[in-house]
Homo-oligomer: A and B are copies of this chain.
Amino acid sequence: MSGHAIPLDAETNAVAMPEDHREELRLWLRLLTCTTLIEGEVRRRLRQRFDVTLPRFDLMAQLEKAPDGLTLSDLSKRMMVSNGNLTGLVERLVASGHLDRRTSQTDRRSQVISLTEAGREEFGLMMAEHEDWIASLFAGLSSRDRQDLMRLLAKTKSSARKAIAEESAP
C-alpha cells in the first residue's frame, strides 16, 4: 500500500493518529443539554406549583404504578439511585403524610412502602399537570419526529448498556 506524500485516510491511519470522536462527543453534549434543560424546567414547575422536588415526584410516580407497595430495593432499582438515598427520601415523605411504610410480613429485613390515600390524591393532580408540561415542551416535534427520536434513543440505550456490560466484564 502507498505512494509517498499522499496522506493516508482516516481508516488506514488509526494507529498513528488516534480516531477523532468529536462527533460522538457533540452528540453526547447535546443529549445532556436537552435533558438538563427539560429536567430543570420540570423541577422548577414542580417546586412552584406543588412545592415538591423531582426526586419526591419520581418516587411517588413509582408507587402510583404499584398499588401493593414496593420495597426500598425495588424502588432503588427502578429509580436507578442508591439504596441509602431512598432511606432519607422516604423518611421525609412519610413524615409529610404522603407515604406509608411497614415491615414486610414475610421478610423482616424489608420495608414495604406505599402511597397513603392523601398522597395518592395529591400525586394525581401533579401527574396530570406534569403530563401537560411535557407535552408542551415537546410540542415543536411532529409525530414523526417523536417516533424517530424514540427509536434512536432506544438504540442509544442498548448501545450504552452493551458498552457498560463489556467494560464491567471484558
A4-41: contact bitstring with B at CB < 8 Å (1 yes, 0 no)? 00000000000000010111111110111111111111
Please classify the interface of chain A as helix (H, G, I), strand (E, B), loop, or mixed, using the class held by over half of its residues: helix
- A153 contacts which chain B residues (CB < 8 A)? 27, 30-31, 34, 149
Residues 116-170 (chain A) with a chain B CB within 8 angstroms: 131-132, 134-141, 143, 145-146, 148-150, 152-164, 167
Which listed residue (B24, B36, B37) contacts A135, Cβ 8 A?
B24
A163 to B44, alpha carbons, bound, how many Å? 13
Give A residues with C-beta under 8 Å from B.
Answer: 19, 21-28, 30-41, 45, 80, 131-132, 134-141, 143, 145-146, 148-150, 152-164, 167
